[in-house]
Structure 1
């Protein structure tokens, strides 16, 4: 500190970053962003399976469907796939905004996107006991992202 007891302009207290967050909060923000990106990428893969490759043998095997079931549910899956894509886009925009310094808006979009992904996984877990393994795969990354982003920004 200077003689007048004030910190010189531009000097940041030890243990904090220039944006005012602590080193720990910054680490949680970075980890939350990485987890949010991974969750978004998973949802892009789900989009591709549901909207682009729903009737393929590999997708049918993944979802445990016959060809007839896939054909009968193709429109529903196409629409649902786009929901997954839009969740990924919102989450990705949040990560990008946060990386550009718009931390509040970025955190809000990351929490909205990853939180919606998590909520969908909870609904799947609760409503379809036979699909619980898929719900866990779908929900773990968003859960961890929400926790880390929440710690960092709230």
Structure 2
């Protein structure tokens, strides 16, 4: 089960690094605006907020990656950190869908790998 936990956690972290790039550095680009369904004016107005939000996503990925790195030497601490990162990612996806049902596709995209990671991490305890 650890292989699945590591694999799903890595995928979740990679996705959140990608989201960091989109939100922090490409927020006003046409392709990013299309992905996040925002207008040019709204993207310009929310650029600073998106920059900050992107770093939240990066930090969740970093916490997860540090946890994975520690799995071999300190299994309990590594698992706790990986669960903190992926659990927070999953929670953010749940907040997204409960706030706006039209964001179901985005929430599923954002939350599937973290959900699978959380389940796998819990099963390998």
User: What is the TM-score when the length of structure 2 is the normalising length?
Assistant: 0.98
Q: Which runs of 4+ in 1 moved over 2 A?
A: none
Distance in 2 (alpha carbons) for counterparts of 1:33 and 1:95? 7
Q: Is the radius of gyration larger for structure 1 or structure 2?
A: 1
CA distance in 1, matches of 2:112, 2:87: 11
**How does 1:69-108 map onto structure 2 within 5 Å?**
69-98=42-71, 100-108=72-80
Deviations 1:13-40 (A, max 9, x none): xxxxxxxxxxxxxxx1111011001000
**As a proportion of its length, which structure holds more helix?**
2
CA RMSD between the two structures = 0.7
| Residue 101 of structure 1: how far off its partner (Å) | 2.3
Determine if the alignment matches structure 1 residue 49 to structure 2 residue 61. no
Equivalent-residue separation in structure 2 for 1:122 and 1:96 (angstroms): 27
Work out the CA distance in 1 between the residues paired with 2:100 and 2:87: 20
Q: CA deviation at 1:148?
A: 0.5
Q: Which of 90, 115, 118 is the aligned partner of 1:143?
A: 115
Structure 1 CA distance for aligned equivalents of residues 100 and 75 of structure 2:
36
What is the aligned partner in structure 2 of residue 134 from structure 1?
106
Q: CA offset at residue 130 of structure 1?
A: 1.1
For structure 2, list consecutive stretches of 5 or more residues without a partner in the other structure: none
Take 1:30 and 1:107, find their aligned partners in 2: how far apart are those partners? 13
Q: Residue 113 in 1 paired to residue 85 in 2? A: yes
Matched residues, number: 125
